Structure 1
């Protein structure tokens, strides 16, 4: 084993030795896996059990997505203000009622029920990321967030397969009921454990509320834009991969190729988490865009799998870097709301990526989807880097003017002291 491998292994081991981090990662998988399974089962339920079209199923999925995006900042604000238990408890009751009824009603009653469920969804992503950040020191924050990102990848891989399996064995109504109530049960476990979301502040009881306009700085907005762009690249690549393999006549290879993409993401995440150096989210977004565009050159499924594996190396690191950068750019007291906005940016990017890629495929074939979304990611990364650099230089200039730089690059008082010392030296 090399020195680098030992260092990376010790970095992850040091995080996993922390009971709060270990317990939270496990709870995250327990809640998220049935949640991912439920989304797939909902589509199957609308199409097969209710006999509706795929468009109708897409509308139902969109209703859940939009409601969840609206819910993110609102629920995050409640976490900041009232804590985990008081925020999660109403969700557990509302979700139990909604998902106990939704699988057994018609389509037009299903839509408002899933909308309410989406609004009251347990803010799992926000909670888990806050707990992971709080459980470790600053040096290990990136490694902890990578572990959470890999746990999400595992849920994304296992959840849909579990949903399809349950729908095949039990039928979609009971499969949907089991998946969603299992996710609620995970929320109950989270409520019982009640992990620490952020370090306690001495004057927390009397601390004033931090208004949105005070912390939603240009830097924060740029990081959120990078988050949305990342999901546009990833979702667009997902659609492009399906279109490419269908056009090649290799539909059975879709699952294998997407698994290779996920493996690349997990591999890249592990490498990035073990690095001592932190890389800017905009740099990683640019690399993701650059690595995505060559996938358009694939001539067969094997080449496609190799190229998309390489592109996948930058998926998890880019998302992790946006979370890390955002968490450091906002006050601790509003971290829950900021994570909620981050989740909404992810959801918004996912909603935009599919139609953008679909439009490109319809007008110029599947290779164009990778060129368009990859190029968009690269362009936004360059724009964000330039804007951050200009802003940092402007702030540096303002700071220099505030301290009134004097001759020789020192403040006047320092210059006087220096001259006085020199006089002393000369006697």
Structure 2
């Protein structure tokens, strides 16, 4: 582990700006989510279930909009994508705090459809601003900054909602988020590295963690492997496996969140929920920083399996002290797992599809989060709080194993061996007049993929 790896990343002005801007955007975003729930319950006098429906409407809309907004980033750039979104956000959240329940649901859904794709934008900026060998470190910093904003945002939201009328608190938070988005629009950071498409990325380690040439561009050699079919130009079996891992990671996390609340209520320590969740987030923060300083990347499927495996022992806790320790340990692989999904996708997918890829990644994580809570809740209702941890852990281990097998199978199909590669070059390269194949044939073969 080399903490000095963070020095060149933090010295990069574009990376520094993206990390700071991300923190400023995400704090009011997390705060706004808490305030929205409190607004429905207190100011509108509705139930928590009805508050959950408002959140669900917004969440579904954000999940649907992810690939669409990402595709726009790829096609028309940051400013033309973000500009209309900012106008919709300002209009929706200027009106939404002062309307009844059903109009609020509609405004929340509309705002979700036109949400500024901040996670996609900032991660693209970070990926494009650093060399390949610094990518994991930079993304780990982003995950750690996200953890810090998640720890600060809800606390600020609760304070605002209890100090002011929830309508004003909601208005202030959402407009602050829009203002931060406007700053991003003004700065207009570059979303790509500026390297020519297909240019090699320097700095790969001895394990072969290079950027991957698109498998669909490789010539097929009869009998030696077929290039995989790609949906939308980039979604191959390995890519789909990583997206599944991203969804499963948030399934485990959202299920753990619900199970923590249920466990502490069972222990008669409801007042401990806040600081136990903070410890969970602190474990993730430390894990993210350690992973960023680690000497090599790890497969997302190994990390997901580890995240799930360390979640199961929480079910063995006998009281609040042991529960807090086990929860903190279970959080250690949260940020590394999320970081690994982004890093591995950035190597599997061509830069020209990166915006849409990040949109699908965000949608996958949103979908996993939406599934995890009810799955854990069902297990808790039928078997007690400990079963919430056990069930999401078992699902995580299962998906990690299946994803690893699918990804490995996809690589075997996509990549011919050395002999096949040589044959492909011999078949594809036209002979020169003196009978020697030229060395600059445009019919290349895929570069080595990540194989941990």
Determine if the TM-score, normalized by the shorter chain, exceeds 0.5: yes
**Structure 2: how far apart are the matches of 1:232 and 1:356?**
9
Give a deviation string over 1:133-163, Cα, whole Å, max 9, x none: 0110000000000111011111111111111
Contiguous gaps of at least 5 residues in structure 2? 199-216, 218-229, 425-452
Report whether the alignment pairs 1:228 with 2:247.
yes
Secondary structure at the aligned position of 2:233 is classed as helix
Give a deviation string over 1:220-265, Cα, whole Å, max 9, x none: 1100000000001000001001000100111111111111111110
Report whether the alignment pairs 1:170 with 2:164.
yes
Equivalent in the alignment of 1:39: 33
Equivalent in the alignment of 1:244: 263
1:269 corresponds, among 278, 288, 291, to: 288
Equivalent in the alignment of 2:324: 305
Q: CA deviation at 1:112?
A: 1.1
Report whether the alignment pairs 1:381 with 2:427.
no
Q: Given the superposition, is the C-alpha separation of residues 174 and 379 from structure 1 closer, same or farther in structure 2, using an over 3 Å criterion?
A: same
Secondary structure at the aligned position of 2:232 is classed as helix
TM-score normalised according to structure 1 size: 0.90
Higher helix share: 1
Report whether the alignment pairs 1:20 with 2:14.
yes
Secondary structure at the aligned position of 1:215 is classed as coil
Q: CA deviation at 1:400?
A: 3.8
Q: CA deviation at 1:64?
A: 0.6
**Structure 2: how far apart are the matches of 1:107 and 1:174?**
16
Give a deviation string over 1:69-91, Cα, whole Å, max 9, x none: 11111100000001111100001
Report whether the alignment pairs 1:371 with 2:390.
yes
| Correspondence 1:319-398 to 2 at 5 A | 319-397=338-416
Which is greater in Rg?
1
**Structure 2: how far apart are the matches of 1:24 and 1:394?**
37
Q: Given the superposition, is the C-alpha separation of residues 365 and 114 from structure 1 closer, same or farther in structure 2, using an over 3 Å criterion?
A: same
Q: Given the superposition, is the C-alpha separation of residues 379 and 203 from structure 1 closer, same or farther in structure 2, using an over 3 Å criterion?
A: closer
1:60 corresponds, among 54, 59, 63, to: 54
**Structure 2: how far apart are the matches of 1:257 and 1:218?**
38
Equivalent in the alignment of 2:23: 29
**Structure 1: how far apart are the matches of 2:421 and 2:310?**
43
**Structure 2: how far apart are the matches of 1:259 and 1:64?**
25
Equivalent in the alignment of 1:11: 5
**Structure 1: how far apart are the matches of 2:157 and 2:100?**
20
Q: CA deviation at 1:171?
A: 1.0
Q: Given the superposition, is the C-alpha separation of residues 256 and 189 from structure 1 closer, same or farther in structure 2, using an over 3 Å criterion?
A: same
Q: CA deviation at 1:269?
A: 0.6
CA contact (8 A) 2:40 2:51 kept: yes
**Structure 1: how far apart are the matches of 2:20 and 2:196?**
31
Q: CA deviation at 1:392?
A: 2.8
CA contact (8 A) 2:15 2:129 kept: yes
**Structure 2: how far apart are the matches of 1:268 and 1:171?**
38
1:76 corresponds, among 70, 79, 86, to: 70
Report whether the alignment pairs 1:50 with 2:50.
no
Q: Given the superposition, is the C-alpha separation of residues 221 and 193 from structure 1 closer, same or farther in structure 2, using an over 3 Å criterion?
A: same
**Structure 2: how far apart are the matches of 1:68 and 1:385?**
28
2:109 corresponds, among 115, 133, 136, to: 115
Equivalenced residues, count:
395
Report whether the alignment pairs 1:94 with 2:94.
no
Q: CA deviation at 1:164?
A: 1.0
**Structure 1: how far apart are the matches of 2:193 and 2:339?**
21
**Structure 2: how far apart are the matches of 1:60 and 1:21?**
35
1:145 corresponds, among 128, 139, 154, to: 139
